[in-house]
A and B are shown apart, each in its own frame.
Chain A
Amino acid sequence: MPLSQMPLGSRAVVSESDLDESDASLLRAMGLGPNAEVRMCRLGEPCIVALPCGCDAGGCRIGLSRRIAERVYVRAMPV
Chain B
Amino acid sequence: MKGVPAQAEPPVSRVGGLPDRGPGLDRRQERRVRRVAIVGNPNTGKTTLFNRVAGVRHKTSNFPGTTQEARLGFADGLDLIDLPGTYSLELDLSESQICRDVLSGQTAPRGEPMSAPDAVLVVADACNLPRNLMLVGEVLRRRLPTVVAVNMVDLSRRRGIHIDVERLSEELGCEVVLCSARTGEGLERITRALHDAAIPHPTPPGDEAGLRRWAERLYVFAATAEEGAADDSFTDRLDRTFTHPVLGTLVFVGVMTGLFWMIFKLAATPMSWIDALFGVLASQARSSLPPGVLTDLLTNGVIAGVGATAIFLPQICLLFFLISLLEGTGYLARAAFVMDRVLRPFGLSGHAFVPLLSSHACALPGIMAARAVPDRRDRLATILVAPFMSCTARIPVYVLLTVLLFPGREGMQALAFTGCYVIGVFAGLLSSLVARRTILRGKSRAMAMELPSYKWPSVRTALMLTMDRGMMFLKKAGTVILMISVVLWWMGTYPLTPEPAELIGARQRVAAAGPGAEPALTDEVRALETEHGRVSARRTIQARIGSAIQPIYAPLGYDRQLTIGVLASFAAREVFVSTMAVQVVGSNDAPVKGMLAEIASAKRDDGTPIFTAPTSWSLLIYFVLSMQCLPTLVVTAREAGGWKWAGLQMAWMTGLAYLSALVVYQVLTAAGVS
> Chain A: residues with CB nearer than 8 A to chain B?
22-23, 25-33, 41-42, 45-46, 48, 50-51, 53-68
Taking a contact as CB atoms closer than 8 A, the residue among B93, B227, B230, B447 that contacts A46 in the complex is B447
A25 surroundings in chain B (CB, below 8 A): 88, 90-92
Complex CA gap A8/B334 in Å reads: 19
B448 and A65 form a contact (CB under 8 A): yes
B240 and A42 form a contact (CB under 8 A): yes
> Chain B: residues with CB nearer than 8 A to chain A?
43, 87-88, 90-93, 125-131, 134, 156, 159-161, 208, 212, 216, 219-220, 223, 225-230, 232, 235-236, 239-240, 243, 333-334, 336-337, 340-341, 350, 374, 446-453
Complex CA gap A35/B414 in Å reads: 53
- With contact pairs A26-B374, A48-B239 given, residues A55 and B448 touching in the complex (Cβ less than 8 Å): no
B243 and A46 form a contact (CB under 8 A): yes
A22 surroundings in chain B (CB, below 8 A): 92, 374
A26 and B225 form a contact (CB under 8 A): no
A53 and B130 form a contact (CB under 8 A): yes
B451 surroundings in chain A (CB, below 8 A): 48, 60-63
Beta-carbon nearest neighbor of B126 in chain A:
A58
Return 11 A-B CB contacts under 8 Å, by A number: A22-B374, A30-B450, A31-B131, A48-B451, A53-B129, A55-B161, A58-B156, A58-B225, A60-B131, A61-B450, A62-B449
Complex CA gap A60/B156 in Å reads: 12
B236 and A41 form a contact (CB under 8 A): yes
- With contact pairs A54-B216, A55-B225, A58-B161 given, residues A29 and B450 touching in the complex (Cβ less than 8 Å): no
A57 and B159 form a contact (CB under 8 A): yes
Taking a contact as CB atoms closer than 8 A, the residue among A57, A60, A66, A67 that contacts B450 in the complex is A60
Beta-carbon nearest neighbor of A56 in chain B:
B230
A57 and B243 form a contact (CB under 8 A): no
With most chain B CB atoms within 10 A of its CB, the pick from A42, A51, A56 is: A56
Interface of B is mostly: mixed
Return A73 CB to nearest CB of chain B, in Å: 15
B220 and A54 form a contact (CB under 8 A): yes
B447 and A53 form a contact (CB under 8 A): no
Beta-carbon nearest neighbor of A28 in chain B:
B208
With most chain B CB atoms within 10 A of its CB, the pick from A26, A27, A46, A60 is: A46
B243 and A67 form a contact (CB under 8 A): no
B374 and A29 form a contact (CB under 8 A): no
Return A67 CB to nearest CB of chain B, in Å: 4
Complex CA gap A67/B445 in Å reads: 9
Beta-carbon nearest neighbor of B212 in chain A:
A33
- With contact pairs A63-B451, A65-B448 given, residues A57 and B160 touching in the complex (Cβ less than 8 Å): yes
User: Contacts A46-B340, A58-B129, A62-B451 given; 4 further ones with Cβ under 8 A?
Assistant: A48-B451, A58-B128, A60-B125, A64-B446
Complex CA gap A58/B446 in Å reads: 26
Return A45 CB to nearest CB of chain B, in Å: 7
With most chain B CB atoms within 10 A of its CB, the pick from A42, A45, A65, A68 is: A65
A29 and B87 form a contact (CB under 8 A): yes
A59 and B128 form a contact (CB under 8 A): yes
A54 surroundings in chain B (CB, below 8 A): 129-130, 216, 219-220, 223, 225
A61 surroundings in chain B (CB, below 8 A): 235, 239, 450-451, 453
A64 and B447 form a contact (CB under 8 A): yes
Taking a contact as CB atoms closer than 8 A, the residue among A32, A41, A65 that contacts B447 in the complex is A65
Return B426 CB to nearest CB of chain A, in Å: 23
A26 surroundings in chain B (CB, below 8 A): 87, 91, 93, 374, 448
A60 surroundings in chain B (CB, below 8 A): 43, 125, 127-128, 131, 450-453
Complex CA gap A32/B521 in Å reads: 88
- With contact pairs A45-B341, A48-B239, A62-B448 given, residues A57 and B229 touching in the complex (Cβ less than 8 Å): yes
B232 and A50 form a contact (CB under 8 A): yes
Complex CA gap A48/B330 in Å reads: 14
B336 surroundings in chain A (CB, below 8 A): 63
B446 and A68 form a contact (CB under 8 A): yes
